[in-house]
Structure 1
Amino acid sequence: MFDLVVVGGGPAGSSAARRAGALGLRTLLLEKEQFPRYKACGGGVTGQALSSLDFALPPRLCDATIFAARVHFEGRSIEARGESPLAAMVSRSDFDALLLEKALEGGVVARMGERVRGLEEHQNAVEVLTDDGAYEATYVIVAEGAQGTLKRTVRRKDREDEYGVCLVSEIRNEDSPRDYRQDTIEVHFGIGGMGYGWVFPHGEHLSVGIGGLASSLRSPKEIMAGFLRDRGFDPHHRARGHLIPVGGVRRTLASSRILLAGDAAGFLDSFTGEGIAYAIRSGQIAAEVISGSLLSGRHPKAQGEYQTLCEKEFGSNLRYSLFLARIMHRFPGIFFRLLASHQEVIDNFAKVATAQWSYGHYLRWLIPRLPGYLLQR
């Protein structure tokens, strides 16, 4: 019998397993794929995410270092550039494989290519049912991403306005209609409900994609083809899809012995679409809570403690990100004009992007100034 079974080997699962191993828990990680595996993603890892790791990102994994963001809306564009990096661009297949490798250094057992089919929670343990058999654990962390179904053992299914659909293509530089700067990401607003399109540099290729609310993005393949065509790319490039949660929605995070982490828990910045930082931290927090419960015997309290700690560390920030995203997408012209006309508005948002400010701090700074800014238009 294991102290902990972690379902999923992505950033949340591997981070949970690494922390659990370091805390001395008998840990089994189950992952349905063999690593390295392709993962559809823009590939941006923020400084906030990197600071949560207890090891440095090897330079070989960094395709590009981002210092600027160029934002487009209805034919206009603005650029924000900082002295500190906004993000490191990585291949998720390589990045996730590194996180798994680091988890295994702590004595974690991993079974790759083994899909979990179900969880049966009992009074003193959880039975984990897989394609190859069954395991017993005192606790389980579900970190299988937004598309998995095991999270429904803890919470209800998300509604269409509570998750997003993304499509992404990887396009070689030689197939690009123009040169894109390797230190700048390009973001195009006005794509679907609460969505945007992007062009991110990755050294020898570009990540080009779109995303938006499932309730609004009814024809994602057509929208993706149009986005590629409008940027001068071949609209027939292969695109792969994935789901992301809308962050900031109040969700149940745990039952007595099953904890959700990362996208499975709904942890994502709804304004930028960034989720890796919250995946890493929620996985670590879940492992720490489980370790404390095992040491103290406070099993019934793990559920509440995990929810409390996640709320304290980033819960309000995710809700403010959702609030700002809704306001921006409801009044995109006004918001874009604010960014274009008042340098301090975009400069201070860069502080949010680099985790120097929270969204709450930014909104408390911005809202009292809005009447004056709007009168100056």
Structure 2
Amino acid sequence: MKVWDAIIIGAGPAGCACAYDLASAGKSVLLLDKAEFPRIKACAGGLTMKTVRALCYSIEPVVRQSIDRMVLEERDSSRIPVKSRKTICVMTERSELDAFCLAKTIEAGAVFQRIQGITGIDERADEVVVTTQDTVSRGRFLVGADGVNSQVRRMTSDSPWFRKAFAIEANIPRHALDEDLVFDFAPVASGYGWVFPKRDHVNVGLYSLDADEKLNRTRLSTYIANRFGNSARPANFIGQHAGFGAAQHHIDRDRVFLAGDAGGFVDMLTGEGIYGAVISGQSAAAAILSDLNQKALAKESFVRLTENLRQNLGIAERIATSFYANPQRGFRAMKMPLLRSAILKGYADGLNLSVLVKTARRLLPDRA
């Protein structure tokens, strides 16, 4: 039986980022997923520029709209417009993005197969055996990039560190080229509503860290009607959990690694998941390459390569807890030009959050 250099479960942004780098380096990669692509996937589809730059290829063919301004709305109905000289983020449709990235990954040399589900994972001294309902595959390493409900995580990790939030979204057909990107902190106590323009439609959703919020289709429909009027006709309602906890995860497996939502690499403050998916997937690839090339053990490399990301996610969790308890504090910061610039840079370009926290404490010592 063929022994692959790596088996990757999940062909979303994390899995494709990992598989692309390994295949591009000439390694044998088996990429497995239950879905047929293009697939419907709950995701607002916004990619910050740090994410766009992290990818190893241009995604211009699937960019719907580029955004250089946004509006933050407070619970007291005040609005803070934010404008940048550079692009803050780009809008995509997740089904188009995933299919595009998978095609690029297959072009790089990865082998893609659909599966019905994983029934067993056996990590041995020098390989991992993955059993599905269809077949048995052997690989030197296994990467679980199979989303928030990861089978790989459940089969290989004692995961009290892992936590979930929830979001629900829908689309409204309308001309959206002049529509602002909006984060609205009024409708959800421990989260926000969003409006993401995508040329021929607007993606609208609600995100919450609190399971008691009970976000559902009725609540989102009410929010849409209040915001856009009763004539708005939302469609394609879909909900999805997001995975957190990478900052608290003690990585202890030698040949099995978790990436993206499966590994809790979502930013709790913003709900951004694709950046963490790409970086953690690429880190898993680099760690595997270091081991295959006999430079360093994969586990040691993966811990080191994800350290900065995991630290930032830990800081984001602490900021989220403070911010959602008292959003007015964050809005005071956004009204200060220096802090607003730092916050925008952190969101769009990946400023280290420890620097942002130190700046906030210096400028707002009694509020930080």
Q: Same fold (TM over 0.5)?
A: yes
- Of the three residues 218, 223, 226, the one matched with 1:227 is 223
Say if 2:338 is the partner of 1:331.
Answer: no
Determine the structure 2 residue equivalent to 1:318. 313
Kindly indicate whether the alpha-carbon contact (under 8 Å) linking 1:126 and 1:136 is maintained by their aligned counterparts in 2. yes
Change (3 A) 1:360 1:248: farther
- The code of the aligned residue for 1:319 comes to G
Contact preservation (8 Å) 2:339, 2:359: no
Deviations 1:143-183 (A, max 9, x none): 011122321233334579x2111101012117xxxx6734x
Residues 1:166 and 2:167 aligned together: yes
Deviations 1:312-364 (A, max 9, x none): 3x222111211211111111123223424x23332221111222622111111
Label 1:79 to 1:244 Cα distance change in 2 as closer, same or farther (>3 A): same
Q: 1:296 aligns with which of 289, 294, 300?
A: 294
Q: How does 1:125-274 map to 2 (within 5 A)?
A: 125-157=127-159, 162-173=163-174, 181-182=178-179, 184-233=180-229, 234=232, 237-246=235-244, 249-253=247-251, 255-274=253-272
Measured against aligned partners, the alpha-carbon deviations of 1:265-291 in whole angstroms (never above 9, x if no partner) come to 111222221121221121111112112
Mapped contact 2:173–2:233 kept (Cα < 8 A): no
1:22 aligns with 24
- The runs of 5 or more residues in structure 1 that have no matched partner are none
Task: Confirm or deny: 8 A CA contact 1:247 1:270 kept in the other structure.
Answer: no
Secondary structure of the structure 2 residue equivalent to 1:198: strand
Contact 1:151 1:264 in 2 (8 A): yes
Contact (CA 8 Å) 1:30, 1:114: kept in 2 or not? no
Say what the alpha-carbon RMSD is for the aligned residues. 2.3
1:236 Cα deviation from its structure 2 partner: 6.7
Measured against aligned partners, the alpha-carbon deviations of 1:95-128 in whole angstroms (never above 9, x if no partner) come to: 1111111111222111135433332222332111
Distance change (3 Å), C-alpha of 1:220 and 1:320: same
The Cα shift of 1:78 comes to 0.8
Deviation string 1:202-234 (CA, Å, 9 cap, x unpaired) is 110111101112533234344323322321355
Q: Distance in 2 between matches of 1:269 and 1:45?
A: 13
CA distance in 2, matches of 1:229, 1:159: 38
In the alignment, structure 1 residue 349 sits paired with structure 2 residue 343: yes
- Cα deviation 1:70-90 (Å, max 9, x = unaligned): 011221111111011111100
Q: Which amino acid aligns with 1:147?
A: N
Query: 1-side partners of 2:283 and 2:226: how far apart?
Result: 43
Q: Secondary structure at the match of 2:250?
A: coil
What secondary structure is seen at the aligned counterpart in 1 of 2:91? Answer: strand
Aligned residue in 2 for 1:79:
81
Q: Is the 8 A contact 1:80 1:347 kept in 2?
A: no
* Gap change, CA 1:2 and 1:352, over 3 Å in 2: same
Distance verdict in 2 for CA 1:295–1:371, change over 3 Å: closer
- Distance, in Å, in 1 between the alignment partners of 2:83 and 2:63 is 19
1:6 positional shift = 0.5
Distance, in Å, in 1 between the alignment partners of 2:178 and 2:157 is 43
Cα distance change of structure 1 residues 348 and 295 upon mapping to structure 2, 3 Å threshold:
closer
Contact (CA 8 Å) 2:246, 2:263: kept in 1 or not?
no
AA aligned to 2:53 is: S
Relative to structure 1, the CA distance from residue 41 to residue 158 in structure 2 (aligned partners, 3 Å threshold; closer, same or farther) is: farther
**Greater mean alpha carbon deviation, residues 100-109 or residues 84-93:** 100-109
Partner of residue 122, structure 2: 120
- Structure 1 position 308, deviation (Å): 2.0
8 A Cα contact 2:190 2:210, kept in partner = no
Partner of 1:364: 358
TM-score (norm 2): 0.91
User: For the residues of structure 1 that align with 2:193 and 2:131, how far apart are their CA atoms?
Assistant: 39
Q: Give the distance between the partners of 2:247 and 2:187, measured in 1 at CA.
A: 22
Residues 278 and 348 of structure 1: is their aligned pair in 2 closer, same or farther, counting only changes over 3 Å? same
Unaligned runs of at least 5 residues, structure 2: none
Identity among equivalent pairs (%): 26
